[in-house]
Amino acid sequence: MAAKTMAGGISTHQDLNEVIRQHSERLAAQLHSQRESLFPPDASKQMRKFMSGEAAALLGVNDSYLRKLHLDGKGPSPELTPGNRRLYSAHDIQALRELLEKTARKPGDYLPGRRDGDHLQIIGVMNFKGGSGKTTTSAHLAQRLALLGYRVLAIDLDPQASLTALHGVQPEFDLEDGGTLYDAIRYDDPVPIREVIRPTYIPNLDLIPGNLELMEFEHETPRALSQGNAGLFFFRVKEALAQVDDNYDVVVIDCPPQLGFLTMSALSASTGVLVTIHPEMLDVMSMSQFLRMTADLMDVIAESGADMSHDWMRYVLTRYEPSDAPQNRIVAFLRTMYGETVLNAPMLKSTAISDAGLTKQTLYEVERSAFTRSTYDRAVESLNALNDEIADLIQKTWGRS
């Protein structure tokens, strides 16, 4: 139906699909020009450099020891600031890690990943509540583990593709010919998962990006089920990951905010599950539904004979404000109810984290000088404590303390 426009330019009658399409095109054009100015096409993301103290902390050695290595000409040469301070790139830190491991007292002191017999850790980050902090948790966890020397694969399973954008891949422009996990899990002619894995600018961190094409899996699965050829659809992610099992220590999967077939497949692939909770009453109420639906769905999967055992499941408190009394009541209530399944370290709410997100960066990527020092330090300490608690769980699963 044609649009009728009155004299004032107010459209009185227009097909909704037309309106939505126009709005979409306008928004895409605006976003495109904004991106062109913020991130010129040839710009690629880079990890910032680390002060010698930060590098030493990541490696678990003293700064004076790193300084001695530098003076002795061992390992990579750090960049020197005009004030003669040493700056290490993430690649320098990885090179030092490999150097230190050669003379380590115990094997694995500097390379904390899998040893013979340890199984791949697949961590699904989920909750069907939108905005509960899944992507922020996934991105910081994946980057921190990579900086600590784990070989990490981050998977964006959310068609909204925020994790993808955070890692410098533009979901609408860089993936026109596919390249998401959908290609490796679709029912007809899936590609080897290797073909959709790409390295990032962070050593030890690879990415499988996402975009709207992932929605195809939600549409195709019922069709395949009705035709009887979906097989064990919920194992498609697990089976795809089995092809690259040897290449990684940890896989982190950022799930979409719904309990669809993608999330169910991630849940069936996971060895560890992180449920993000923003401690506010409405969120906690919807979580009760999420848990019940998840349990019901897992029953259905288990009935088909699948092994639903996990190594661990934990709740992560996100955007937590310690000065907020109602939040504290909810946190106390959750800790009483769920005990040690609520991780001790919460992710604090911080403008440093949300501001970094505005420029498509994690807190680990932004320069500390971009923020008030105490704001940055408080946020990064909370993220490190949270991620290191998860790293401990991983080590425990492998039988180490």
Per-residue binding letters, 160-199, with Mg ion (x by CB under 5 A) = --x-------------------------------------
Per-residue binding letters, 289-328, with ligand ATP (x by CB under 6 A) = -----------------------------xx---------
**Closest approach of ligand ATP to the CB of residue 366, in Å:** 12
DSSP code, position 252 = E
Per-residue binding letters, 334-353, with ligand ATP (x by CB under 6 A) = -------------xxxx--x
Which region, judged by CB under 5 A, interacts with Mg ion, from 159-167, 199-207, 295-303, 314-322? 159-167
| Residue selected from 131, 310, 324, 385 as contacting ligand ATP according to rule CB under 6 A | 131
Contact between 361 and ligand ATP by CB under 6 A: the answer reads: no
Element (H, E) at 247: none
Contact between 372 and ligand ATP by CB under 6 A: the answer reads: no
Q: How many residues form the binding site for ligand ATP (CB under 6 A)?
A: 20
Per-residue DSSP letters for 316-385? Answer: EE-SB-TT-HHHHHHHHHHHHHHGGGB-SS--B--HHHHHHHHTT--TTTS-GGGS-HHHHHHHHHHHHH
**Closest approach of ligand ATP to the CB of residue 82, in Å:** 34
- CB nearer to Mg ion: pick between 134 and 140: 134
Contact between 357 and ligand ATP by CB under 6 A: the answer reads: yes
**Closest approach of ligand ATP to the CB of residue 193, in Å:** 23
Contact between 135 and ligand ATP by CB under 6 A: the answer reads: yes
Residue 172 vs residues 176, 207, 250, 355: alpha-carbon distances, Å: 7, 16, 27, 23
Q: Distance between alpha carbon 358 and the CA centroid of its chain, in Å?
A: 16
| Residue selected from 89, 94, 135, 265 as contacting Mg ion according to rule CB under 5 A | 135
Contact between 170 and ligand ATP by CB under 6 A: the answer reads: no
Rounded CA-CA distance 361/35 in Å is: 14
Q: Name which of 355, 399, 398 is nearest 379 in CA terms.
A: 355
Contact between 156 and ligand ATP by CB under 6 A: the answer reads: no
Which region, judged by CB under 6 A, interacts with ligand ATP, from 134-142, 188-196, 217-225, 325-333? 134-142
Burial 80-106 (b: 16+ CB within 10 A, else e): eeeeeebbbbbebbbebbeebeeeeee
Dmax over Cα atoms in the chain, in whole Å? 82
> 70 touches which of Mg ion, ligand ATP, none (CB within 5 to 8 A by kind)?
none
| Residue selected from 49, 70, 86, 134 as contacting Mg ion according to rule CB under 5 A | 134
> 361 touches which of Mg ion, ligand ATP, none (CB within 5 to 8 A by kind)?
none
Rounded CA-CA distance 209/168 in Å is: 10
**Closest approach of Mg ion to the CB of residue 131, in Å:** 8
Would you say 77 and 70 are in contact if contact means Cβ atoms under 8 Å apart? yes
Rounded CA-CA distance 18/26 in Å is: 12
Would you say 233 and 224 are in contact if contact means Cβ atoms under 8 Å apart? yes
Rounded CA-CA distance 100/61 in Å is: 10
Name residue 13's beta-bridge partners: 4
What region does 168 belong to: left with phi over 0, alpha with psi -120 to 50, or beta? Answer: left
Which region, judged by CB under 6 A, interacts with ligand ATP, from 128-136, 165-173, 212-220, 336-344? 128-136
The residue ranges that bind Mg ion (CB under 5 A) are 134-135, 162
The residue ranges that bind ligand ATP (CB under 6 A) are 130-136, 158, 160, 162, 257, 318-319, 347-350, 353-354, 357
